[in-house]
Amino acid sequence: MATELRFDEVLRVLIRNEVEFIVVGGVAAILQGSPLTTEDIDVVYVSSEENNTRLAKALRELDATYFDPAGRQVEPDVSRLASMRMHLLTTNCGRVDLLRTIGKNLAYHDLVERSRVLEVEEFRVRVLELEVIIETKEHANRPKDRYQLLFLRQLLAEIQKLDAE
């Protein structure tokens, strides 16, 4: 049985462990006003020895294991975080996808200038700007992304109109 996504708790654990990351994808869009829902939280993380150590600690708190249809219980560790590009995980707070890059091979350091810090409950979290979320979904060009783009482009237009007023 799938665990309901509690992305706020995932964010709390990552922040408490001082992990350097940017929220991307559906949750980033939701935090900026998107009416869409998502089944997971996607984050791009800094892949450095120090950050991977903090991230591995946070993932242990979340009881993270790799998503495996065969049911094997493989836990993420510092070595895997450093060597693999994508980590599709199940946790006690729902699905978490950890990515070293998105879109056209954009890593944390490429994206940080195109992100913003938002207040979420009692903490501050860095999220990818809506324009960049749209760009990455256009690049992915999956059916679910094409559907979401209709809403995200409309949301961006509404935000830009409000900003211009």
Residue length of the chain: 165
Q: Tell me the per-residue pLDDT of 128-153, one tens digit each, with 9 for 90 and over.
A: 999 999 999 999 999 989 999 999 99
Domain assignment of residue 37, given as a range: 7-129
According to the model, what pLDDT value does residue 2 have?
Answer: 63
Q: Tell me if 139 is assigned to some domain.
A: no
Q: Tell me if 29 is assigned to some domain.
A: yes
What strands, in cross-sheet order, belong to the sheet with 21-24?
65-66, 86-91, 94-99, 40-45, 21-24, 123-128, 115-120
Dihedral sign, Cα of residue 108, residue 102, residue 4, residue 32 = positive
For the chain, what percent of residues have pLDDT higher than 90?
Answer: 86
Q: Tell me if 157 is assigned to some domain.
A: no
Q: Tell me if 31 is assigned to some domain.
A: yes
Total number of domains constituting the chain: 1
The model's pTM is 0.93
Mean pLDDT, to the nearest integer, of 55-83? 95
- Across the chain, which distance is largest between two alpha carbons, in Å? 54
- Residue 53: CATH number of its domain: 3.30.460.40
Q: Tell me the per-residue pLDDT of 1-22, one tens digit each, with 9 for 90 and over.
A: 468 999 999 999 999 999 999 9
